[in-house]
Structure formats: C-alpha cells, structure tokens
C-alpha cells in the first residue's frame, strides 16, 4: 500500500512538474520577447523605411509588404476555401471524389512551408513567369491557408440546421439563392474564424515566402507603383526579422518580434471574441 502511495506521489509530481515546465517555457518566450524588444519599438520604427545610407532603421516597407501579401492571399484563398467547403457540404455526394478532396486537404495541412516555398518558386515564379513577387508569394500562401478556411467554413455549415435549407428550397428558392442568402450568412462566424486564423498564419510565415516573395524593404511608389508592386519582390516583417537576426542585429530582430507578437495576440483575441459571440449559438443549434 505504501509503495503504491509513493508511486502515486511521484507520478502526480511528474505531471505537475511537466505542466509547470511547459507553461514556464511558453509564457517565458512571450515575456522575454517583450522584455528585450519592446523598448526599441517606436513610432519612428513603424513609419520610416530602413536606409543604410542614413543609418535609419524602420519597418514601414515591410509592414506594407505584409499587408500586400495578406490581402492578395485572402483575395485568392477566401473564395476558394469557402467555395470548396460549400461544394463538400452542399453539392458533393459521398464517394471517391469527396474522400480524395478531403485527403488532399489533409495533405496540404501537413506539407512543410519550406516545400511550399520550393513549389511556389518553380511553379508560380518560373513556369508562370511571376518571378520573385508579391503575387508569387500570395499564390503560394493561398495553397497553405486554403485548408484552414475550408475546414472552418465546413464546420460552420454543418451547424446550419437542415430545415433552413429545406425551408428555403421548399419556398421555391433556387439552390444558389439559398446558399447566397441563407447558408453563407449563417456560416459567417466560421468563415471569419478561418480568415483570422489564416491572417495569423500569413503574418508569421517565413520559409514559404523567402523564395517566392523574396526580400526587400522599400515602400511602393505612389500612383501606378501601388499596382505594379504586386509584380515586384518584397519582404514581410517576418522575413526582415529573419534577415536581421542572421546579420546579428538582435535589437532590430527583437523589436520586430515584439510587433509580430502583438499582432498574434490581437488575432488570438479576435478569434476568441468571434467564437464567444457566435460559437455558443452554433453549438446550441447543433444539439
């Protein structure tokens, strides 16, 4: 009996110790980044462009590049992801095709970003001739975040009660009209969650962008330059951070890391509020 008790105590201690260690490491990471980096984040840092000549350090160009990549990626990935979820949930009949789509979605989730980078470099960059550009980067990331948006949309579609569909169809609505006016609005929280998670993923991505969107820290030229930018290369904040730490500029790297962490925390907060606001209702309906 006492041997068993001792064993119980040891195991309980081990569980507690593991949890403490994990949490300490994980919270320590966030804490340390802010401790080391936040003091170098200033308004100047955010709104000026880095200039080796003037010795100025700022990430305005990289922030704009990040925005370009986020917007272009979402412009491609949201229709594609929502569309494929609607296909899977509303049109497809169970069979070979559906299991193939589901299998390939799973596969896309598991492919490492460095391989997406290689593929994007060859396919969008060389075969389609887009070179190192915002578009090459965005198309590459589109494949990466597609499963994220599709899965969240699909989960939301599943919670839309069946009688919404049969009700609309029974009143004579065409299927497309029903999807547009009933299903998509009802699935909006799920779609939003997918989009926010995708933005977080895009902002943090580096390996898939290094050989597709490339690097660079200049702002696009005003006017037509804004449109031309999509065919030009440029580094996001994450890429710039990597290049700075490779050069040993740790002050700058930690400052960018703090900005990225603030964004990640904000995205996390957004996801939580979307889920808190709509998630409960969805779950209630499912029961």
Partner 1 sequence: MTGNHMTGNQKKRYFTEKTAEWMFTACGLIAVFAVASITIYMLMNGIPALFETGLTELLFGTLWQPTAAEPSFGILFVILTSIIGTAAAVLLGAPLGILTAVFIEETASGTLSALVKPAVELLAGIPSVIYGLLGIYLLNPVMYKLELKIFADSPDHQFTGGANLISAVIVLAIMILPTVISVSASAIHAVPASQRAASLALGATPVQTIFKVTLPSAKSGIAAAVVLGTGRAMGEAMAITLVSGSSVNFPLPFHSVRFLTTAIVAEMGYASGLHRQVLFTIGLVLFVFIMFINLTLTKVLKGREEKE
By CB under 8 A, what part of segment 112-141 binds partner 1? 112-119, 121-123
Least distance from partner 1 to the Cβ atom of residue 208, Å? 9
- Name which of residues 56 to 115 contact partner 1 (CB under 8 A): 79-84, 86-88, 90-92, 97, 100-101, 103-108, 110-115
How many secondary structure helices (H) and strands (E) does the chain include? 14, 2
Instruction: Tally Cβ neighbours within 10 Å of residue 112.
Output: 10
d(Cα 277, Cα 257) in Å, to the nearest integer? 30
Tokens 């070979």 locate to 96
- For residue 238 the two structure tokens come to 């994450």
Question: For partner 1, which is the closer residue by CB, 221 or 272?
Answer: 272
Choose which of 61, 125, 194, 200 interacts with partner 1 (CB under 8 A).
200
Question: For partner 1, which is the closer residue by CB, 159 or 238?
Answer: 238
Q: Is there binding between residue 193 and partner 1 (CB under 8 A)?
A: no
Instruction: Tally Cβ neighbours within 10 Å of residue 200.
Output: 20
Least distance from partner 1 to the Cβ atom of residue 222, Å? 30
- Name which of residues 207 to 246 contact partner 1 (CB under 8 A): 207, 210-211, 238, 241-242, 245-246
Least distance from partner 1 to the Cβ atom of residue 196, Å? 10
Least distance from partner 1 to the Cβ atom of residue 227, Å? 26
According to DSSP, residue 126 is labeled I
For 133, left (φ over 0), alpha (ψ -120 to 50), or beta? beta
Question: For partner 1, which is the closer residue by CB, 91 or 231?
Answer: 91
Closest CA to 238 of 256, 250, 224, 219: 256
């Amino acid at each position: 009996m006492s041997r068993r008790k001792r064993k119980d105590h040891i195991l309980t201690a081990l569980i507690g110790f593991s949890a403490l260690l994990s949490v300490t490491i994980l919270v320590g990471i966030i804490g340390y980044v802010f401790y080391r980096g936040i003091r170098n984040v200033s308004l100047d840092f955010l709104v000026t462009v880095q200039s080796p000549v003037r010795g100025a350090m700022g990430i305005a160009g990289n922030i704009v590049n990040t925005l370009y990549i986020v917007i272009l990626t979402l412009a491609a990935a949201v229709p594609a992801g929502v569309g494929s979820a609607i296909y899977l949930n509303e049109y497809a009949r169970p069979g070979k095709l559906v299991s193939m789509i589901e299998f390939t979605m799973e596969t896309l989730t598991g492919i490492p970003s460095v391989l997406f980078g290689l593929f994007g470099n060859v396919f969008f960059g060389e075969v389609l001739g887009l070179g190192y550009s915002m578009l090459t980067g965005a198309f590459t990331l589109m494949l990466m975040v597609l499963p994220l948006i599709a899965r969240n949309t699909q989960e939301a579609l599943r919670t839309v009660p069946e009688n919404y569909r049969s009700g609309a169809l029974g009143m004579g609505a065409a299927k497309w009209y029903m999807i547009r006016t009933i299903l998509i609005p009802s699935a909006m929280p799920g779609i939003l969650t997918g989009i926010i998670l995708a933005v977080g993923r895009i902002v943090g991505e580096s390996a898939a962008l290094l050989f597709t969107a490339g690097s660079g820290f200049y702002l696009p030229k005003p006017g037509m330059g804004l449109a031309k930018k999509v065919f030009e290369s440029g580094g996001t904040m994450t890429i710039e951070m990597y290049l700075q730490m490779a050069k040993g500029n740790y002050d700058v790297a930690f400052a960018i890391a703090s900005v990225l962490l603030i964004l990640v925390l904000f995205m996390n907060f957004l996801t939580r509020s979307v889920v808190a606001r709509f998630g409960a209702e969805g779950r209630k309906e499912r029961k």
